[in-house]
């Protein structure tokens, strides 16, 4: 889940690793790590979801190194690889992030989404997502040749 409104270094001081066994408990509001056990009430989980910056469907177009607890983040050597990748592609990651955010914001405006509550109600909370919103966002990605080029450079799946 992407959370807006947090400083860039917010997660640097905490352990964000989640074991495969605890992934199941995320859906129930419980997260276990090596250092702590956190229980989140359903109400608190709903409030966190309201702060989601992007949908689960659009997150597949985010660079792996920018997603907390991505599928590779628990592998041995991932940290070194991620640091090297971020250093090597710093400019491309920045450009891609700016374009991604811009296209997402444009799509929100196109769908009359102007507040975090609008975003939650019209997109995030919908089971299976808002397919029209998703398609419009993907069309914006596909329509920008530089975005497609950056996806190739950064190893990001391109929209069909």
Average pLDDT along the chain: 78
Residues 7-35: tens digit of each pLDDT: 443 333 333 333 444 344 444 555 544 55
Residues 51-62: tens digit of each pLDDT: 667 777 888 898
**H/E stretch holding 74:** none
Question: Rounded distance, CA 91 to CA 138, Å?
Answer: 23
CA 104, 93, 11, 77: dihedral to nearest 10 degrees? Answer: 130
pLDDT at 64: 87
Q: What is the pLDDT of residue 2?
A: 44
Residues of the chain with pLDDT under 70: 1-38, 45-52
pTM above 0.85, yes or no: no
């Amino acid at each position: 889940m992407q959370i807006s409104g947090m400083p860039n270094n917010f997660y640097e001081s905490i352990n964000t690793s989640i074991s495969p066994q605890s992934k199941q408990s995320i859906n129930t509001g419980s997260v276990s790590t090596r250092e702590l056990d956190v229980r989140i009430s359903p109400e608190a989980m709903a409030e966190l979801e309201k702060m989601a910056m992007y949908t689960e469907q659009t997150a597949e177009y985010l660079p792996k190194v920018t997603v907390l607890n991505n599928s590779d983040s628990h592998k041995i050597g991932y940290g070194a690889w991620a640091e090297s990748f971020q250093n090597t592609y710093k400019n491309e990651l920045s450009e891609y992030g700016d374009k991604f955010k811009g296209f997402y914001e444009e799509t929100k405006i196109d769908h009359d989404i102007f507040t975090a509550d609008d975003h939650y109600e019209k997109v995030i909370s919908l089971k299976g997502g808002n397919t029209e919103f998703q398609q419009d966002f993907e069309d914006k990605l596909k329509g920008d040749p530089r975005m497609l080029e950056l996806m190739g450079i950064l190893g990001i799946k391109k929209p069909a």
